[in-house]
Amino acid sequence: MESSIAIASDHAGFVLKQYLSEYLRGRDIGVLDLGPDNESSVDYPDFANLVADAIGEGRAKFGILICGSGIGISIAANRHRHIRAALCHDVTTARLCRAHNDANVLVLGGRLIGTMTAEDCVEAFLAGEFEGGRHARRVEKLS
C-alpha cells in the first residue's frame, strides 16, 4: 500500500518526527515511518536515503525529514536526482517550495522550530501545488 508521506529523522529530530507522525495519522494521512525508533545517536544520511528510496520506489509520494538544524539531512536528501528537498522554517517557505520548486521532501530543523510551526509547515506543504509555467524549466534543470 502506498503511503502518502514517508518520514524519518536523526536523533536530534526524533521527538518532532514522532509528534508529526501522530499528527498526520490523526488527519487520516498515511505515514511510512522510516525511523529511527529512539533518540540514540544515528547518522542523518542513512535516514535521508531511506526516504529518498521510498519516494523513488513509489512507496510514498512525499517525504518529511528532520535533523537538528535541517541542513545536513537536506544536503543528504538532495544528492538523489529524483529528490527536491526544501528546508523550511515557516509557512511561506513551505508554500513556496511546492509552488515554485515542486519540492517532494519537506525538511525541518527539530531544534529550531516548535510543534505549531512544524504543523503549519506540513499543512502548507501538503496543500501546495506546483505552479509550473516559468518555474517548470528551472525545476527541469535540477534533475
What whole-number distance in Å separates Cα of residue 140 and Cα of residue 120? 28
Q: Which of 20, 34, 28 is nearest to 4 (CA)?
A: 28
Which one of 11, 80, 100, 135 is the catalytic residue? 100
- 85 is written with which cell numbers? 528537498
Do 9 and 21 meet the contact criterion of CB atoms below 8 Å apart? no
Residue 100 is a catalytic residue: yes
Do 101 and 135 meet the contact criterion of CB atoms below 8 Å apart? yes
- For the chain, the distance separating the N- and C-terminal CA atoms, rounded to the nearest angstrom, is 27
Q: Which residues have a catalytic role annotated?
A: 100
